[in-house]
Amino acid sequence: MKPARTRFAPSPTGFLHVGGVRTALFAWLVARQTGGQFILRIEDTDRAREVKGAETHIIDSLRALGLDYDEGPDLPGDYGPYRQTERLDTYKTWAQTLLDAGRAYADPYSPEEVQSFREQAQKAKKPFLYRDHRPEQQPAWDGKRPLRFKSEPKAYDWQDAVMGKLHAGAEAIDDFILIKSDGFPTYNFAHVVDDHEMAITHVIRGQEFIASVPNYLNLHEALGFTPPVFATMPHILNEQGNKKLSKRDGAKDVLDYLKDGYLVEALINFIASLGWNDGTTQEIFSREELIERFSLDHVQRSGARFDERRLEWMDGHWIRTLDNDTVYSRCGGFWPESAKDAPEDYKKQVLDITRERLKYLAELPQQTDFFFVDLPVDPKLIDNHKQLKKMDNQELKAMLEQAKASLEQSDFSPIDLSKRLNQLLEQTGQKPAVLFSLIRIATTQAPASPGLADTLAVLGKERSLKRLHTQLDALK
C-alpha cells in the first residue's frame, strides 16, 4: 500500500471522548501501517464555539495515547500552517478561483429571509434546498455577505472504504456557504481545500458527514481537485445504546480514563475493538499488532455501544500481562498515601503480587494500604468469618501462638513460609479456611489480600510478627 497521509481534524471545542479518539486512532493506524504521515489540523473557524485551552487539551490527549502526529500546529511541516484561522489567505484564493469561474456567488438574502425559506420547506414537509431560491441577480461579493457555492446538482456514486458503495441523488446537493459573513470559511469549504493542499489521501471521519459527501464531491469538481479516499466511521453509542456518544450525554474525557488508571495499552486495544476486528477470534491486540493487522474494510458498519465492563476486563488483562516494571512505571500517583516513603523495590514486590487482582490502577490504595501501614485491629474480620466466629478467644490465641512460634524461626522466604504454613496445618489439625484466614486477618487487617505466603514474604519478618503480637493482645 502506498504511504497514506491521514489527518485528525478536531475543532477546539472541548475534550476528546472515545468516539473522537477512535477516529484519530484509525487514521493514525492507516498512516503508520503504510509508512505515511498522520497530521493534526485544528479546525477553529467557529470562533463562538471555541473553548480556551481545548487545543492544548486535545494535544495532551493524543500524546498520552501515543497517537503521535508528524505535522501539526506545534510541529510545523511542509503543508502548514495547521490551524485553519491561520490559513485564511488560502481560502480566499480558492474562493476567488470559484468566483472567477462563476461557481460562487454572494448571498443577497438576510438570515431572516433564509430562515423563512427554511420554514416554508419544513411546513411543506420537504427538505430545505437553498438553491430553490438561487437569486437571478447576485450582488458583488463584498466580503460582508456569505459567499455561496453555485452547485451543479447531479447524482453521485462513490466508494467508501468502510461503507462500500454509496449513492445519492441530485437532491443531496445544494448551494452551501463557503465563506461566512464574518470572513471565516465554513467547515464544508475549508476542509476540502485543506485536505487537498495538505495532500491528504484518506479522509476518515464520523457518520454525520456522510450526507454531505455529494456536496464535497461537487465542490471537488468545481475546484479541479481529485477526491481523497473517504472512510466513514459508525457512531459509538452510549451505554443505553439509544444515542451516539456525546459530551452532553456524559461521555468521559479519555484523559479521565488514564487518570483512573486505565493503561494506554488497554484503552487503545478497547477502542480499536469497538467497531473493528481482524476477522479472527483474537481480542487482545498490541499497538504493533494493530498497525500490522488494521484494515478499514474490516471496520463495522453499525454503531457499537460503549461497555465499560468490557474495558475493565481488558484493562485487568493488560495489567496482568505486561511485565511488572512496565506496570510499575504507570503506578506513579496511584499508590496510597501510606506508601509515600516506601522504597521502590518494596513497592515493586507489592505490585507484583497484587496486580493480578487489579482492574485499574486506581484500585491500588484499597488493595495495598496494609502493606505500608499497620492498620488497627478490626474485630469484625473475625466476627464476620464463618468459622472463626464460632471459636473463642483462647482457641484463636492458641493457634496464633503456634503460628508465631513457627514463623519466628522462618527466614521469610516464600518457600520456607509455604513449608511452615503446611506444617502448621498438620500441627493444629485445622483447615486452611480456619488457620490461614486467622493468620491473614492478623497480619493484614484487610478484607482481602494476595496469597498468604506471598503476603507474609513481602511484609517481612519484623512487620508480620509485630502484627501477630498486636492481634494476640487484642484477643485478651
Partner RNA sequence: GGCCCCUUCGUCUAGUGGUCCAGGAUAUCUGGUUCUCAUCCAGAAGAUCGCGGGUUCGAAUCCCGCAGGGGUCACCA
Q: Is position 301 an interface residue for RNA (rule: CB under 7 A)?
A: yes
Residue 186 CB, nearest approach to RNA (Å):
4
Residue 234 CB, nearest approach to RNA (Å):
7
Which residue from 86, 132, 152, 182 is in contact with RNA, where contact means CB under 7 A? 182
Residue 148 CB, nearest approach to RNA (Å):
9
Residue keyed to cell 518494596: 346
- Closest of 442, 444, 453 to residue 401, by C-alpha: 442
Q: Is position 134 an interface residue for RNA (rule: CB under 7 A)?
A: no
**C-alpha cell at position 198:** 495538505
CA–CA distance, 20 with 14 (Å, rounded to integer): 11
**C-alpha cell at position 360:** 485499574
Nearer to RNA, 48 or 344 (CB): 48
Which residue from 283, 292, 325, 473 is in contact with RNA, where contact means CB under 7 A? 283
Query: Do the bridges between strand 156-160 and strand 164-168 make them parallel or antiparallel, or are there none, so unpaired?
Result: antiparallel
Report which residue type is found at 236.
I
**C-alpha cell at position 13:** 471545542
**C-alpha cell at position 284:** 487482545
Annotated catalytic residue, options 247, 397, 419, 466:
247
Contacts to RNA from residues 331-360, by CB under 7 A: 356-357
Which residue from 75, 88, 99, 114 is in contact with RNA, where contact means CB under 7 A? 114
Contacts to RNA from residues 251-280, by CB under 7 A: 273-275, 277, 279-280
Residue 452 CB, nearest approach to RNA (Å):
4
Q: Is position 145 an interface residue for RNA (rule: CB under 7 A)?
A: yes
247 is catalytic: yes
Residue 170 CB, nearest approach to RNA (Å):
10
CA–CA distance, 4 with 8 (Å, rounded to integer): 13
Contacts to RNA from residues 434-453, by CB under 7 A: 436-437, 440, 447-453
Nearer to RNA, 280 or 329 (CB): 280
**C-alpha cell at position 358:** 487489579
Which residue from 168, 322, 327, 458 is in contact with RNA, where contact means CB under 7 A? 168
Report which residue type is found at 288.
E
In degrees and rounded to multiples of 5, residue 206 shows phi and psi of -75, 165
Secondary structure (H, E, C), 390-452: HCCHHHHHHHHHHHHHHHHCCCCCHHHHHHHHHHHHHHHCCCHHHHHHHHHHHHHCCCCCCCH
In degrees and rounded to multiples of 5, residue 460 shows phi and psi of 90, 165
The DSSP annotation for 132-197 comes to: GG--SS-PPP-SSSPEEE------EEEEETTTEEEEE-GGG----EEE-TTSPBPHHHHHHHHHHH
Report which residue type is found at 171.
E
Contacts to RNA from residues 302-331, by CB under 7 A: 302-305, 307, 309-310, 312-313, 316-317, 320
- Asked if 476 and 408 touch (Cβ cutoff 8 Å), the reply is no
Nearer to RNA, 35 or 356 (CB): 356
Contacts to RNA from residues 401-440, by CB under 7 A: 418, 421-422, 425, 432-433, 436-437, 440
- Asked if 160 and 234 touch (Cβ cutoff 8 Å), the reply is no
CA–CA distance, 66 with 132 (Å, rounded to integer): 48
Quick note: the x/- pattern for RNA over 357-386, rule CB under 7 A, is x-----------------------------
Contacts to RNA from residues 186-205, by CB under 7 A: 186-188, 191
Nearer to RNA, 35 or 152 (CB): 152
Q: Is position 171 an interface residue for RNA (rule: CB under 7 A)?
A: yes
Nearer to RNA, 70 or 312 (CB): 312
Report which residue type is found at 185.
P
**C-alpha cell at position 219:** 465542490
Nearer to RNA, 321 or 338 (CB): 321
Residue 341 CB, nearest approach to RNA (Å):
26
Angle at 460 between CA 459 and CA 465, to 5 degrees: 95
Which residue from 3, 35, 164, 460 is in contact with RNA, where contact means CB under 7 A? 164
Residue 35 CB, nearest approach to RNA (Å):
25
Nearer to RNA, 33 or 418 (CB): 418
Nearer to RNA, 3 or 122 (CB): 122
Q: Which range touches RNA (CB under 7 A), out of 172-180, 221-229, 247-255, 402-410?
A: 172-180
Q: Is position 298 an interface residue for RNA (rule: CB under 7 A)?
A: yes
Region for 34 from its dihedrals, namely left if φ exceeds 0, alpha if ψ lies in -120 to 50, beta otherwise: alpha
Contacts to RNA from residues 39-98, by CB under 7 A: 43, 45-46, 49
**C-alpha cell at position 131:** 438553491
Nearer to RNA, 83 or 259 (CB): 83
Residue 283 CB, nearest approach to RNA (Å):
5
The residues annotated with a catalytic role in the active site are 247
